[in-house]
Chains A and B, each alone.
Chain A
Amino acid sequence: MRNFLSDKVQNIQPSGIRKFFDIVTEMKDAISLGVGEPDFETPWHIRDEGIYAFEKGRTFYTSNSGLLPLRQEISNYIERTQGVNYNPQNEIIVTVGGSEAIDIGLRALINDGDEVIIPQPSYVSYAPCSYLAGGKNVFINLKAENEFRLTPEELENAITDKTKVLILPYPNNPTGAIMEKSDLEKIAKIIKEHDIFVISDEIYAELTYKGKHVSIVSLDGMKERTLLINGFSKSYAMTGWRLGYCCAPNWLIKQMTKIHQYAIMCAPTISQYAAVEALKNGDEDVKIMRESYNQRRRFLIDAFKKMGLECFEPYGAFYVFPCIKEFGMTSEEFATRFLQEEKVAAVPGTAFGDSGEGYLRISYAYSLEKLKIAMERLERFIKKLRS
């Protein structure tokens, strides 16, 4: 039999996280700090709305781009948080998680050989999605001394005459880094100069612990050259509902809708009804969860300080990204030994790109009690390594 597989699919690697997952699963009593989703359950009033939708028999397809009332609520939300107006009729698509928006956005934008700039460490799906769309990936290795923010110099150096798209993944998974308004302004200037398009993945927008999140679309002249991606997974603890959305100029949304309608048809209907409730009445839930994450974040940063572990203070998402270079091991060695010797799982930084080498992603989507035990073990572990 001949090899039926496409070259492209064979060329992409399975997620580095998967390998680690298999080791952790075998270890029964391990504490995991490896999860990239909230520990909170979806707030009850949102779940209740989902149940209600089931009871009412809302079990059919919605329009391709999603329920209009939901798109209206999304539009209101962007308006009230960023002061930017998107037309719910033709500038918003409700997607299956933010991930789908990344995929269809890239597919709608990229011609073979177009260069896509991807700052790393960052979420695992940008590079493969871009590659499958025909893009040529150009990575920027973000630096700890810049708190893993994207600097104008780094961006300038990565731009060529083939550059078409910049992925802007802030607040960032896995580093927890954010980009503040002043940082974005410098980036926006270069973007406009070189006529580049931005895919801004702001799935962690609500989880920002230093002022309010600023989206690049709120900057002058950026709305028309940005695909804004957000969703319900992180802010409303709705990962399993698989619901995200994207906003962009109509010329792009129109094309993305074609891919979405042929590949997906529409996002899950029940989830969409629940999401309307989330956007209408969920602000208080978000506030409570954010405060809770913030307390854990402070706890971890303090714990690292006490054990002398180098870590910049991250102000976004629910990750900290401590540096483990002093131990002379690769991230993977460190994570594997930490798991085997202390039964705590944290994800090696390299799962998010080569520039994650020397770092560890620790998620604080866990109760304080669990984090405390994990930090005791980490302290014991690094004491042993240092002695």
Chain B
Amino acid sequence: MREQLLSIIEKNSRIGISELAVLLGKDEIEVANEIKKLEEEHVICGYHTLIDWEKTSIEKVSAIIEVRVTLQRGQGFDKIAQRIYNYPEVKSVYLISGGFDLMVTLEEKSLKEIATFVSDKLSTLDNVLSTGTHFVLKRYKEHGTILDEVKEDAREVVTP
């Protein structure tokens, strides 16, 4: 049940327990308990909403920043990541393989604020060797959802 439950609520976190129970063919109580367990185990970490900010009047600028770091005794990647992810403007931090170490995504109100964050806060960290900032120009797909997609049913209305 777990895998199916998660794959349903990953796409629709607003679905009610009773409907979930029907779709999964389980009791409501069973489903409610499972969700509670998943929350306690931090398998479910939050229920967020996917917003296309571009369609609002609110200004948002995002950037993806490549960060190369140097490790010191007693200071692994986790420690450095923590110093970075504690900033609320940081949306995500990943440790990655390849030419650099951490990938940080940032969301701010303006280009300038991002520049300030990178130059004043990120680059000045002792462990940070270099950064490369990429501004996001357009978002096509997020969280498995194509943002501008309007699906039309191209099928004939009645077929055998």
Q: Mark A341-370, 1 if CB is under 8 A from B, else 0.
A: 000010100010000000000000000100
Q: Mark A303-347, 1 if CB is under 8 A from B, else 0.
A: 000000000000000000000000000000000000000000101
Contact A35–B155 (Cβ < 8 Å): yes
13 new A-B contacts, CB < 8 A, other than A24-B157, A123-B160, are A17-B158, A21-B156, A25-B157, A35-B157, A35-B158, A36-B159, A37-B159, A291-B4, A295-B24, A298-B24, A298-B25, A299-B22, A302-B22
Determine whether B71 belongs to the interface, using a CB cutoff of 8 Å to chain A.
no
Q: How far is the CA of A85 from the CA of B92 in the complex (A)?
A: 51
Q: Which residues of chain B have C-beta atoms less than 8 A from A17's C-beta?
A: 158-160
| B8, B22, B153, B160: the one within 8 Å of A36 (CB) | B160
Contact A37–B22 (Cβ < 8 Å): no
Contact A298–B23 (Cβ < 8 Å): yes
- What total of A-B pairs shows CB separation below 8 Å? 51
Chain B: interface residue total (CB-CB under 8 A)? 15
Determine whether A155 belongs to the interface, using a CB cutoff of 8 Å to chain B.
no
Q: How far is the CA of A17 from the CA of B159 in the complex (A)?
A: 7
Q: How far is the CA of A25 from the CA of B158 in the complex (A)?
A: 9
Q: How far is the CA of A37 from the CA of B153 in the complex (A)?
A: 12
Q: How far is the CB of B6 from chain A (nearest CB, A)?
A: 12
Q: How far is the CA of A298 from the CA of B26 in the complex (A)?
A: 10
If A291-B4, A295-B8 touch, whether A35 touches B156 (CB-CB below 8 Å) is yes
Q: How far is the CA of A20 from the CA of B158 in the complex (A)?
A: 8
Q: How far is the CB of A347 from chain B (nearest CB, A)?
A: 6
Can you list 30 contacts pairing A with B, beta carbon distance less than 8 Å?
Answer: A15-B160, A17-B158, A17-B159, A20-B158, A21-B157, A25-B157, A30-B157, A32-B157, A34-B157, A34-B158, A35-B155, A35-B157, A35-B158, A36-B159, A37-B155, A37-B159, A39-B155, A123-B160, A124-B160, A125-B160, A173-B160, A295-B8, A295-B24, A298-B22, A298-B23, A298-B24, A298-B25, A299-B22, A299-B23, A368-B23
Q: Which B residues contact A (CB, under 8 angstroms)? A: 4, 7-8, 19, 22-25, 153, 155-160
Q: How far is the CA of A302 from the CA of B21 in the complex (A)?
A: 10
Q: How far is the CA of A17 from the CA of B155 in the complex (A)?
A: 15
Q: Which residues of chain B have C-beta atoms less than 8 A from A35's C-beta?
A: 155-159
Contact A345–B158 (Cβ < 8 Å): yes
| A295 nearest in chain B by CB position | B23
Q: Which residues of chain B have C-beta atoms less than 8 A from A173's C-beta?
A: 160
Q: How far is the CA of A298 from the CA of B25 in the complex (A)?
A: 7
Q: How far is the CA of A32 from the CA of B157 in the complex (A)?
A: 6
Q: How far is the CA of A317 from the CA of B160 in the complex (A)?
A: 13
Q: How far is the CB of A66 from chain B (nearest CB, A)?
A: 25
